[in-house]
Amino acid sequence: MLSGLKILDFSRLLPGPFATKVLADLGASVTRVVHPSLPDMMEDFGPPHGDTSTLDFELNHRKETLKLDLKEAEAQQNILRIISDFDVVIEGFRPGVMARFGLDYKTLREINPEIIYCSITGYGQESTRRSKAGHDINYVALSGIPSYSGTEHPPILGAPIADLSGSMYAASTILAAVIRRDRTGVGAYLDVPMRDCVVSLGILENNTYLNSTELPQRQTTLINGGSIYDYYQTQDGRYLSVGSLEPKFRKQLLDNLGIAETSSKPEIAEKIRSKPLSHWVQVFDDVDACVEAVLTLDEVFDGVKTVEKDGVRMQPFPVKIL
């Protein structure tokens, strides 16, 4: 779908490379600019695959690679010579770094006025934190979401939601800018702060607070444990997810648990704890109650079609284009 779109990718780690992976999966041509000798943490993340890792391979196997040390004048001149061939630039350095290389938006726009230039950073180009180091946990912490999530302790999530929300905002905004450029001939500079991206994921509680100034507390709101919407432990130490918010789903839940329609959350928890997960999976298999098992990865990928390239199994693109 994106055949003909050419992207020059200066990013490292996860946010930028995941964004360009999505665009490459959709047909864009992506060229990575990598340092000749400095390693990328993603090269050591996960099982090894040749000189890199399976994760690095999954992120980048569709992309071409250009090895350049951007601190060298010759490397900078090489970029300036080829920039007219590209539609999009994406980078993930701290603010000011690309300007020091002479490869910032202002400079590249002089050569290629239609260039779309996307910067993914922790805090944005104009933030007071613009020069601070950070990782996903820091951006999530500053979003406010952990303050009302979990029980007594903010949950440590198993997925880097700030990194990946930054990736998806970058990819979608790049595509919007491409549409505008194709219509008007005008390029764009896109400032994508991961902290702000993850703030946007808290839209439910953000909206309540902004319009009432009432701070959400743990286990008090509809989807943070303040209702029956929760994870419940089973007899064998596994967990069952219950999303039975609407009355019709709640009725199905309670009927199939075999308890009264007036049952409280502790009573639901006690009933679910009385049987192993396999029992409840069987009970709710054909029941429309928004109840599902919390799966382990071996269960998630059991029988799921995967893509294999060069001996590495990878997840397929999640959206079917019909």
How far, in Å, CA of 286 to CA of 288, rounded?
A: 7
50 exposed, middle or buried (CB, 10 Å; 0-12, 13-18, 19+)? exposed
Instruction: Say which of 163, 191, 236, 286 is annotated catalytic.
Output: 163
- Residue 138 neighbours by CB under 8 Å, 6+ apart: 122, 195
DSSP annotation of 115 reads -
How far, in Å, CA of 223 to CA of 230, rounded?
A: 7
255 is catalytic: no
Please choose, from the candidates 192, 31, 8, 20, the residue with its C-alpha nearest in 3D space to the C-alpha of residue 89: 8
- Rg of the chain, C-alpha, whole Å: 24
How far, in Å, CA of 182 to CA of 87, rounded?
A: 11
DSSP H stretches of helix in the chain: 15-25, 54-60, 73-82, 97-100, 105-111, 136-141, 161-184, 194-200, 203-210, 247-257, 265-272, 277-284, 297-300
| Structure tokens, 307 | 């893509």
How far, in Å, CA of 119 to CA of 91, rounded?
A: 5
Give me the amino acid identity at 169. Answer: Y
At residue 111, the 3 state secondary structure works out as helix
> Cβ distance 6 to 88 under 8 Å?
yes
Please choose, from the candidates 212, 208, 210, 200, the residue with its C-alpha nearest in 3D space to the C-alpha of residue 226: 208
Active site residues: 163
